[in-house]
Amino acid sequence: MRPIPYLLKKIRQYDPKMLLMMLVNALLSAAYPFIWVLVPAAILRNYQVWTRQQLILTVVLAGLGAMLAGFVVAWLKGNYRMRMNNVRYQLIRDLARVSLRMPYENTLLPKTLDQINFAHSSVSNPMLGAGGIILGLLPLSGQILSVLGFSSLLASLSPWILILLVVILISNYLIIDQEARFSESMWQSYRPLGRRHMTLQEVISDPLRKKDILLYNTWEMLRAYLRKYADLRLLQDVKASKKHFQFMSTLTLVDLIRDVLVYGWIIRQFALGLMDASVFTLYTAGLLSFMVVSQQLIKNLVDIQLESKRFQNFIDFTLPLEKQFQEMETVHKQNIASDVIVPEIVIENLTFIYPNTTAPVLEDLNLHIPAGEKLALVGENGAGKSTLIKLLCRLYKPSSGRILINGKDIWDYNEEDYHQLFSAVFQDAMLLPFTLRDNITMATDMDTAAFQLAVERSGLSEVINKLPANEDTYLLRILSDEGVDLSGGERQKLFLARALYKTSSKMLILDEPTAALDPLAEREMYERYAQFTQGKTSIFVSHRLASTRFCDRVAFLKDGKIMELGTHDQLIAQKGEYAELFEIQAKNYRQSASVEKGAPEDV
Amino acid sequence: MSNIRKSFSYFGKSTLLYYLWLFFSSLVSGLSPVLYVYMPKLILDELLSTRQPIILWQYVAILALGALLLNLLRHFANMRFESYSFQALYVLTEKLTEKATAIPYHESESKHTLDLKERATRSLDYLWSLKDVMMTTGSALVTLITSAILILSWKWWLLPLLLGLNLLTIPLLQRLRLLEVDNNERSMPETRAFVYFTEISRDFRYAKDLRLYNGVELMLTRAKASMDKILAVNHEYFTKSGALNGLIMVLVELQSTVVFLILGTALMIRTITVGNFVLIYNAARQFGQVLSVLFEQTRQIMTINLELTSFIKFMALPEIEDFNAENQHEEIVPAVRQAIALARSGQVSLEVRQLSFAYPEQDALILDDLSLSIPSGETVALVGRNGAGKTTLVKLICRLYQPQSGQILLNGVDIAQIPLPEYYRLLSVTFQDFQLMPVLLSENLCGKLQSEQTEDDLEHIRQALRDTEMLSWAEEQKDGIHVPITRLLDEEGAIPSGGQEQKLAIARNICHGGALMILDEPTSALDPRNEEQVFGMMLRLTRGSSSMFVSHRLSSTRYADRIFVLDGGKLIQEGNHSQLMSEDGLYRTMYLAQASQYQDNQ
């Protein structure tokens, strides 16, 4: 779909009054410039025959008309701008909705981020993209009408004038359009440079980086980088400016030709006695106004075109996805709630390759997790544990092979229903800058009983009681001055509470949940684990191999496959890699510590 | 205007050229409307009198060529002016970034500072739009003067009359200003929230959780609430300012009405020629229009000036003392100098005396009258429960915050007395949330640009990489030890894994060469093999020199020379592993809690 029809549709959806305002503005702003072109001409024609009263009447009437038009046009401009923002904010939220609902896999594709960045820039600034188009639409029809009006006035001089005006108008348009395209393509080609400059600026001024910059005194070096980028950008900017100058000069020359010809014609007519002073005034004023308005029109058209191109990215990104969502809603997929009591998972020949890579992260993986089992998933960094979890959660689609839940392929289910089954705590979970309660419930309402239970079981209640507004305390300081930060351990408890709050979940997945917990909190978690996982199937991912003690079985992942599978004791007896890694960790907990690491002699 | 002037003071010497080209551009573009006003009068006069073709064509030629020349000059001047505008923007952005780095750590976390910084960054966009405003103002001013001259050439009293009518708009403009100021203040707190919600579409870190927990609607509901707040504030502003702008237009049109009444009458009673009628009404209209343009532009300049308040305020925030290396020639007391020299030679002893600390804006004491002492050459571990104050203590040692009471002494001297850059040379610290910069590996390690690295530096870098067993990894990368880290700035950058990153951080510590090495939770994200390697590396490299680490992994901290157990902000136990194991305290409880998981008989 094209940007302007799309935006008009959105305007009609979100704020139809704007369309009326556009109409009113068009009529008034088109008529407006004519008033003070016609009045002097009328005076010059009639001053010898009019009475005083007639003069006053004419002028005052015209004046009142101009005042009214002036007032309305000015008032409309402000009001319209505010409404534009309203529409724009809706679009920002639409973009967020689409981005947050699209298949998670899309986040892996660099193309997606690029598209979203473009889409984002077309709605985040009031002057660009959607905002620019909408703001430009207001005066546009008025400008078109004005230009038509003035050109028909001038055309009455002679049909040749009309042809000349049209030709010059078109050539002006072509020149300005050409320039816009040119500068767009220049901008595109050195956008990476601009992006890097901005990224670097953001990185340096990110509060999280500050400690390192201070402690290692790296500011001067970073500043040198900033300057390097700034210098390169300046070179480009100057080049672009020069090109702009060339275009503008061409434009000026073309206008010169027009002005000379039209003026010459007017003078000739006058000299031949074919017009009088009043008409002369009319035409020369008309020419001046025409020049001004046509330039405004062309500039507006070109800007709208430019911003349309930018905004097209928004449409190209959101429309297909929105259609997809609609389709998914109508396709009847099996409702999962009735099918699954406690999930049994079967993974068959699962292979997964990240986009734009060749080596599979998971290769022909097979695993059977009986209903209600507490499985520990262990392996070294980069073995693919998190990837497997994401595949289970339906965040990624397998490259080949499948995952069955109670015998049915997980992709046969409705996505939302399927996600109801899962509570997962990932390593890189983020706090939302809302209240603590919001962070746990992830909804605008709350099940009080479930909330209390979740908060107790996760150990978060101690944390909550220390906070100024308990669970209504805001986290982070983005929305509230009194926002609070949580320590690593407190966060972990909160994320656990969130996972436990979801009473519909039958599958609990914890990815490195104890990394930030102190030894006692860690032990507490393990002790309560049986409690959390009652009636559920669960997967505990960790490389603290001790955590596997309270799980039913251990799956050891390496090179994309499950290399070892069994209870902890079975795997120790096998003396494979699991046993080796376990020993590496365990030996330091023995009374007689070895001297291998160069540690001082122990008692 | 003062903020604009002050902002430009950061731009430096080029400011003069900026203003010069602005002046020239204004002059030239201000003159061309006058050409279009004056020449028609001459032409008309000629047409009504002798009608000599030669003269007519001369006039047309002057008009056409004059316009051409003026326009070309204007575009040229704009081009030069624009390049200075770009420069100004880059320079000021750099200063802003520098300031962000120079603000004391505890200040930089407050919402107020973050809001101000956000606002200051956005105000630089306004500074950019200043160039167009300046050009319009400048040319309007020139046109104003020239059309005033033309008006005066007929009847002197017309000018004050027009001025008087225009001055009626001034109270309206003042009201507009007040509205702007008010609007500005009221929307500032919402800016960061707005930016957050706009960014949500492209910040993929929230993606998994929002999907799995069905939190998308929550996010969008909160987004709408925040944005509606902004719209409400804007609604009031735009409604009132719209009415005021409308009234201003009414006054402008009133002027035109008055002008035509006067001139029309004059024409009727023959006190003005036809040619002058045309000239004067054009000049008067132009005068009126240009005056209102001037008022509007002045208002915009005031708006920009207002927006720049955040920039000026931000730039005026107090900095960390000694941030600029130049101000280092203060008096250093001999005792301090000695302490520094001792540290430089590798001997660092640290003493914490009755330290109490609560985070800004919070009441709870995180450290409560804490005292402990680290003799030189010892490897020390800080353990304790979450929230005991371990990381906070490290931050205080790093002088990121100031204690409410108590002191930290290095080699017997209060660390607050040591000049900050000097102090940081004595420490090598890696925090849990450390991140390498997206620059080259060698630059990360030694803190110098590649072009400034000496042979010695390169040797240090290689040695540090050797010590941390990362040299072969580095040499396998494109450009070897000069490989860019992450792909943020270079598509072919290397992306080290968690374990590799940790080792590189230690390499950085080594390169930095501080006598006191501090590591906060270095292995919490590492798998068993990497954990073993990293810890082993650390212990080996710091043997004999002073180091401190904070960790939950009691299997590793047990090898420290001395272990401090913190609880509730106080030191409750101290000693080496066996001493602490023989006491019936928190340490033993924690250690056994972890160890029991590895015992074969539960």
pLDDT tens readout for residues A242-260: 888 998 899 888 888 888 8
Q: Which residues between 378 and 437 in chain A have a beta carbon less than 8 angstroms from any beta carbon of chain B?
A: 379-382, 390, 393, 395, 416, 419-420, 422-424, 426-430, 432-434
Q: Output the CA–CA distances (angstroms, integers) from residue A532 to A498, A526, A528, A538, A542, in the order listed.
A: 12, 10, 6, 9, 17
Lowest pLDDT segment from A105-119, A432-446, B90-104, B573-587: A105-119
User: Would you state the pLDDT for residue A601?
Assistant: 36
The answer to whether residue A540 scores a pLDDT higher than 80 is yes
What CA–CA distance (Å, rounded) separates A544 from A229?
45
Query: What is the tens place of the pLDDT at every residue in B190-226?
Result: 877 888 999 888 888 899 999 999 999 999 999 999 9
User: Would you state the pLDDT for residue B453?
Assistant: 92
Letter string b/e over residues A494-521, b meaning 16 or more CB atoms within 10 A of that residue's CB:
bbbbbbbbbeebbbbbbbbbbbbbbbbb
Residue A603 pLDDT grade (very low, low, confident, very high; cuts 50, 70, 90): very low
Mean pLDDT, rounded, for A280-292: 83
User: Would you state the pLDDT for residue A483?
Assistant: 83
User: Would you state the pLDDT for residue A270?
Assistant: 79
User: Would you state the pLDDT for residue A37?
Assistant: 86
Query: What is the tens place of the pLDDT at every residue in B126-147?
Result: 877 888 888 888 888 888 998 8
Q: Which chain B positions have a beta carbon within 8 Å of A528's beta carbon?
A: none
pTM: 0.84
Longest dimension (CA), chain B: 122
Alpha helices in A442-487 (DSSP H): 448-458, 460-466
**Do the Cβ atoms of A381 and B497 come closer than 8 Å?**
yes
B497 interface with A at CB cutoff 8 Å: yes
Cβ neighbors of B572 (< 8 A, separation 6 or more) are B565, B566, B585, B586
Q: How far is B464 from chain A (nearest CA, A)?
A: 16
Among chain A residues, CA nearest to B395: A211
Q: Which chain A positions have a beta carbon within 8 Å of B263's beta carbon?
A: 43
Q: Output the CA–CA distances (angstroms, integers) from residue B52 to A184, A372, A452, B47, in the order listed.
A: 50, 107, 99, 8
A280 interface with B at CB cutoff 8 Å: yes
Q: Do B211 and A116 touch (CB under 8 A)?
A: no
Residue B328 pLDDT grade (very low, low, confident, very high; cuts 50, 70, 90): low
Closest CA to B166 of B139, B148, B190: B148
What CA–CA distance (Å, rounded) separates B541 from B538?
5
Q: How far is A92 from chain B (nearest CA, A)?
A: 6
Cβ neighbors of B120 (< 8 A, separation 6 or more) are B96, B310, B311, B313, B314, B315
User: Would you state the pLDDT for residue A312?
Assistant: 92
Q: Which chain A positions have a beta carbon within 8 Å of B212's beta carbon?
A: 393, 395, 419, 422-424
Longest dimension (CA), chain A: 123
Query: Which two structure tokens, joined as six digits, stand for A270?
Result: 């006058």
Q: Do B497 and A249 touch (CB under 8 A)?
A: no
Mean pLDDT, rounded, for B355-359: 92
What CA–CA distance (Å, rounded) separates B438 from A201?
11
The answer to whether residue B181 scores a pLDDT higher than 90 is no
Residue B472 pLDDT grade (very low, low, confident, very high; cuts 50, 70, 90): very high
Residue type (1 letter), B144:
L
B535 interface with A at CB cutoff 8 Å: yes
Dihedral class, residue B179 (left if φ above 0, else alpha if ψ from -120 to 50, else beta):
alpha
> What strand order describes the sheet that includes A374-378?
A422-425, A507-511, A537-541, A374-378, A553-558, A561-566
User: Would you state the pLDDT for residue A599?
Assistant: 45
Residue A222 pLDDT grade (very low, low, confident, very high; cuts 50, 70, 90): very high
Q: Which chain B positions have a beta carbon within 8 Å of A519's beta carbon?
A: 552, 554, 590-591, 593-594
Residue B569 has what DSSP assignment? Answer: T
Using CB atoms, pick whichever of A44, A74, A213 lies closest to residue B274. Answer: A44
What CA–CA distance (Å, rounded) separates A499 from A27?
60
Closest CA to B381 of B256, B551, B521: B551
Among chain A residues, CA nearest to B265: A52
Residues in a beta bridge with B353: B407
Q: What ipTM does this complex have?
A: 0.87
Using CB atoms, pick whichever of A120, A517, A589 lies closest to residue B386. Answer: A517
User: Would you state the pLDDT for residue A595?
Assistant: 38
**Do the Cβ atoms of B477 and B484 come closer than 8 Å?**
no
B242 interface with A at CB cutoff 8 Å: yes
Q: What percent of chain A has pLDDT over 90?
A: 40
Q: What percent of chain A has pLDDT over 70?
A: 96
Interface test with B, best of A118, A216, A274 (most B CBs within 10 A): A216
User: Would you state the pLDDT for residue A223?
Assistant: 93
Counted across chains A and B, CB pairs separated by less than 8 A come out at: 469
Residue B444 pLDDT grade (very low, low, confident, very high; cuts 50, 70, 90): very high
The answer to whether residue A415 scores a pLDDT higher than 60 is yes
User: Would you state the pLDDT for residue A591?
Assistant: 66
Q: Is the dihedral of CA A572, A575, A576, A580 positive or negative?
A: positive
Q: How far is A538 from chain B (nearest CA, A)?
A: 16
Residue type (1 letter), B169:
T
B238 interface with A at CB cutoff 8 Å: yes
The answer to whether residue B37 scores a pLDDT higher than 80 is no
Mean pLDDT, rounded, for A517-546: 86
- One DSSP character per residue, A102-161 reads S-GGGGG-HHHHHHHHHHHHTTSSTTSHHHHHHHHHHHHHHHHHHHHHHHHHHHTT-HHH
Query: What is the tens place of the pLDDT at every residue in B494-539?
Result: 888 878 888 999 999 999 988 899 999 888 778 888 888 888 888 8
Residue B325 pLDDT grade (very low, low, confident, very high; cuts 50, 70, 90): low
Using CB atoms, pick whichever of B209, B210, B421 lies closest to residue A217. Answer: B421
User: Would you state the pLDDT for residue B314?
Assistant: 93
Q: Do B277 and A40 touch (CB under 8 A)?
A: yes
